[in-house]
Amino acid sequence: MNGIRLCGVGKAVPSKIVSNADFAARMDTSDEWISSRTGILRRRHCGEGETISGLIAQAAREALDASGVKAEQIGACIVATATAETLVPSAACTLQKDLGLPENIPCFDLNAACTGFLFALHTMECLLNASPRKYGLVVGAENLSRVIDWSDRSTCILFGDGAGAAVVECAEGCPSISAVMGCHGSRELLYLPGAESGVHSYLSMEGTKVFKFAVEAVPWCIGQVLERTGKTVDDIDFFVFHQANARIIDLAARKFRIPPEKYYKNIAEYGNTSAASIPLVLSELSEQGRIGSGSRILAVGFGGGLTWGGCLIEFA
Ligand code: COA
């Protein structure tokens, strides 16, 4: 079986910026509380006329342009999301039409909450090995502002909207991404009811318990990926973490003695964008020229489900 590597990345975020001061103006919170506990300064929310489908298409187009791959070369398309605009058609089917992707390929949504992008990369690796086309499109996107409960100050301040996309190539000689992933069913810690529940869908979370889960899951994933690939921290060019809380990232970095120039946080600007957070980081790092041809990236995610995952992915 061949592995996959990144050929191009892209991103799109809504134009409406919601600062910590905006929250403090409408509820009992403060910029100091939010920034010191989470690292978040502001986040983006979809405003009038902005849709998550629009952001998905914009991010995907940017990734295709960056990769030089044409829409007709794509062999599968997965959108990782828990907040698609419509359940049917899926966000991936809508994207197929928007971009003119081939009709004879699988296009579908995948929900693994904040770990969704990594679950999707792993799934894409399997799919492309069975496809005559060798390129795949993987998107992570969320419209979390639609499902936040404005009466719950401990969660509503955390989340933002956005989309990130990657074009990947499956070719002979590509190393496997060596994905490790898992899940542990739990409604109690993180919950977003579906349409069938009859109640308005709001996200709820036991933040302190999720924090404890995350500070164990992230190092576990890093350790597993390093062990499976026979690599050390020195062999990795960049560590890309799901952006849920700056303290979770810093604790993991400290545990593995990852030098500051080898990891990145953009949570201050976007908050937690769930499935979009890892591809948003990849896209910004690429824009800044900090990752590119030949870079070896260890990515780690965790979130609702509960789910967790890690993988090692190289830039073409
Ligand atoms: N502003 C001011 N005070 C707030 C607040 C806010 N926005 N939200 C909660 N508080 C208060 C609480 O009411 C509580 O007050 P009390 O001690 O008087 O009861 C106090 O702050 C501490 O609340 P707690 O929930 O224990 O805070 P915390 O230190 O655990 O931080 C999170 C809360 C959400 C920032 C933190 O738990 C977290 O980041 N968890 C992980 C979340 C995560 O990773 N989720 C995504 C999974 S993908």
Which atom of ligand 1 lies closest to the CA of 38? 35
- Ligand 1, atom 45, residue with closest C-alpha: 244
How far from 165 is each of 119, 158, 172, 206, CA to CA, in Å?
A: 14, 22, 23, 29
255: confidence class by pLDDT, cuts 50, 70, 90: very high
Amino acid letter for position 159: F
Q: Answer whether 110's CB lies under 8 Å from 78's CB.
A: yes
Q: Name the average pLDDT for the chain.
A: 96
Q: Answer whether 21's CB lies under 8 Å from 112's CB.
A: no
Which atom of ligand 1 lies closest to the CA of 247? 39
Paired tokens of 174: 């590509």
Give the percent of the chain with pLDDT over 90: 97
pLDDT of 315 over the 70 cut: yes
Amino acid letter for position 277: S
Q: Give the pLDDT confidence of 15-43 residue by residue, as tens digits.
A: 999 999 999 999 999 999 999 999 999 99
Q: Quick one: DSSP state of residue 304?
A: T
C-alpha 279 – ligand 1 centre gap (Å): 26
Q: Ligand 1 pocket check: which of 22, 35, 37 to mutate, most ligand atoms within 8 Å of Cβ? A: 37
Q: Give the pLDDT confidence of 71-106 residue by residue, as tens digits.
A: 999 999 999 999 999 999 999 999 999 999 999 999
Beta bridge partners of 110: 80
- Ligand 1, atom 12, residue with closest C-alpha: 154
**pLDDT score for 194:** 81
- Cis preceding-peptide flag for 260 (omega within 30 of 0): no
Q: How would DSSP label each residue in 160-191?
A: -EEEEEEEEEE-TTPPP---EEEE---SSSEE
pLDDT of 253 over the 80 cut: yes
Q: Answer whether 114's CB lies under 8 Å from 272's CB.
A: yes
C-alpha 181 – ligand 1 centre gap (Å): 27
**pLDDT score for 284:** 98
- Ligand 1, atom 34, residue with closest C-alpha: 207
Which atom of ligand 1 lies closest to the CA of 154? 8
Question: What is the pLDDT averaged over residues 195-224?
Answer: 90
pLDDT of 2 over the 90 cut: yes
**pLDDT score for 14:** 98
| Residue whose token pair is 């789910």 | 307
Question: What is the pLDDT averaged over residues 274-296?
Answer: 97
| Predicted structure pTM score | 0.96
Residues with CB under 6 Å of ligand 1 are: 29, 33-34, 37-38, 114, 153-154, 157, 205, 207-208, 210-211, 214, 244-245, 272, 303
Cβ-proximal residues to 42 (8 Å cutoff; 6+ apart), any chain: 17, 18, 19, 20, 268, 269, 271
Cβ-proximal residues to 108 (8 Å cutoff; 6+ apart), any chain: 77, 78, 79, 90, 92, 93
Q: Give the pLDDT confidence of 151-203 residue by residue, as tens digits.
A: 999 999 999 999 999 999 999 989 999 999 999 999 999 999 886 666 678 99
